[in-house]
Amino acid sequence: MQLGGLPVETDVSAGAWIAEAVARARWGTVAALVPPLFPAYARVLHPAYRYEGDDDVEVPWAAVAALNGTVAHPLAQWPAVTGGWEYLAEDSQPPDWDGPPAEGHLPTTAAARMAAVLARHTGTPGDCLLGRWAGHGADAAALRGVPTLPLPRGRDVVLVRGAVTDAVRNLAPEPSEQSATLWWPADRSWVVATDIDLMSTYVGGSAACIGELLATPGLEVCPSAADDRVGHADDPVNAVPARG
C-alpha cells in the first residue's frame, strides 16, 4: 500500500523514540508535538492568502496583525491577531486576505522551502520517515489494520518512507489534500510536526538548523521553545476574543 506514491511502513518502531518523548510532555505545548530533546526550536506560521485572479498570494501574519492593530510575536495566535474566532475558517478580511492559514496542513510552498533547508542539516536526506494522521476520513477504510505510530490525543500516524524532499507530497487520496503531520530523517537530526488542529508547524533541531530556518526567504518563522503553549487561545500579548 502507498500514500502519495510512497510505500507504507509496517514497522513503526523507528518512531518509538518520538512517541515515548511526546507522550511524557504536557499536552498543549511544543514538547507534546516535537520531542523536547533538541537544542533549538522554531515555529513556522502557515500563510493566509489573498486571491488575485487565478493566483493565491501568500499573506504573512505580520501583515494581518498590522491590519488589525495587533502584535505579531512568537506566541501569537490567529483568533487574537484577527480579533475573532470566526476567522479560523469561515470569514475573511478582503481585500487584504481572503483565505485563512491552513489548519493541520503544511502548504506545499512552505514544505518545499523548509525541506531545502532541512536537507542540509541531516546526514540522511534520502532516508526520511513521514507520518500522516491516520484519522483522515478519505481513506479510513483502506487503512484499517495498517500499523500506526501512537501519538497523544488520537494523533496516531501512518508512516511512509521517502526523502526529505517528499515533504511536499499530498499524502491523502485526491481530491483531498493532506501534508505529512510528522517527519524526520533516519539520523534523528531534526523533527517537524504539524498538529491537525493548528495553523503552525513546529521544528526541533540544532541551533544551526533553526537559525537557517529563521532566515529563510518566503517563510514566516519565529523562535520557539519546548514549553511554549500552542493553542488558539494561548496568545499572551493580544487580547483573546470571546467565543461567540
Domain C-terminal end among 88, 116, 146: 88
Q: How many alpha carbons lie under 13 Å from residue 180 in its C-beta half-sphere?
A: 31
Q: Are residues 33 and 64 in the same domain?
A: no
Does this model's pTM top 0.95? My answer is yes
Q: What is the 3-state secondary structure (H, E, C) of 201-228?
A: EEEEECHHHHHHHHCCCCCEEEEECCCC
* Distance set, CA 162 to CA 8, 135, 175, 183, 193 (Å): 10, 21, 22, 10, 16
Q: Name 215's Cβ contacts closer than 8 Å, sequence gap at least 6.
A: none
Residue 147 is assigned to a structural domain of this protein: yes
Q: Are residues 143 and 218 in the same domain?
A: yes
The total domain count for the chain is 2
pLDDT tens digit at each of 244 positions of the chain: 899 999 999 999 999 999 999 999 999 999 999 999 999 999 999 999 999 999 999 999 999 999 999 999 999 999 999 999 999 988 999 999 999 999 999 999 999 999 999 999 999 999 999 999 999 888 888 898 999 999 999 999 999 999 999 999 999 999 999 999 999 999 999 999 999 999 999 999 999 999 999 999 999 999 999 999 999 999 999 999 998 7
Q: Are residues 82 and 186 in the same domain?
A: no
